[in-house]
Amino acid sequence: MIADLIYDVGLHKGEDAAFYLKKGFKVLGIEANPELVQHCRSRFRNEVANGQLRIIEGAIAPASEGPAIPFYMNSDSVLSTINRNRAERTEKLGHKSECVVLPRVDVADVYRSCGVPYFLKVDVEGADHLVLEELKQQPNRPQYISVESDKVDFDEVEIQLGLLRDLGYRKFKAVQQQRIPGSRVDTTALDGSNVAHVFEGGASGPFGDDLGSQWLDFDGIIRRYQSIFRDYRYFGDDSLLAKFPVLALPFKAVYKLGTGHRGSLPGWYDTHASL
């Protein structure tokens, strides 16, 4: 494991890389969307020039897919994916996609050539599991991992958590993402200096010790996600309230009053894992 290296898999517009770079880490960003790659090369031109940020352009996909991959660039860039079914699902929600062909990124080769990072952030629609699976072949593990969790299928969440457990992770957190934009963290950089950072829209937020909340064991995180999926069932994209938004606000108010729930409903979550 390389103690000063972070992988930002799903670089997007650099919302997370900005924080990692401010903390003094070297960052390897992987991004499929060519427009976002150019945006980040411009935004972080100094960091790219001095080698603090390296950007790998292409789509993460299995080797069986060959050297070129169909990639569905969505009108809402966070929904872009290699998964055709996901693209069709989001198009039904009003977000159109354009199919482009991109070079395939071999994650196993990236690990071999660049090393295993201290922190691995994964947010690549439809390919998160590939990034985690390839860690099985590596002699080391990142100290921390964050990965977006599914909002629709609880079985998928259990599979993802089981994979993290198989990789050796024993401590977990489910971190609500809806309240990250605009939040502030006061932390320290690698050189010991103080760092204050306000997270922009689209950021996934802090990691590791900066998260603050209590770590859960495997059974605890399963119970936590069971509670989260109850909220998805009542308030999520496929819920009855989503079809009748005029009822959502009063129902949410009553629900919070009755259950003591605090924060966003339902939002969406990233799973954080620690060795």
Domain count, the chain: 1
**DSSP label at residue 95:** -
259 in any annotated domain:
yes
Which residue shows structure tokens 């977006």? 148
CATH number at residue 243: 3.40.50.150
Residues 201-236 have pLDDT tens digits of: 999 999 999 998 899 999 999 999 999 998 888 776
CA distances in angstroms from 151 to 233, 239, 266, listed in the order given: 10, 12, 10
210: domain range? 2-60+105-274
pLDDT tier at 125 (50, 70, 90 boundaries)? confident
What is residue 90's three-state secondary structure? Answer: helix
241 belongs to a structural domain: yes
Q: CA-based angle 216:217:222, to the nearest 5?
A: 85
Phi-psi category of 152—alpha, beta or left, where left has phi over 0 and alpha has psi -120 to 50? alpha
Give the integer Cα–Cα distance in Å for 155 and 83: 18
Confidence band, pLDDT 50/70/90 cuts, at residue 100: confident
> Residue 266, preceding bond cis, omega within 30 degrees?
yes
- Report yes or no on 66 lying in a domain: no
Q: What global pTM score does this model have?
A: 0.88
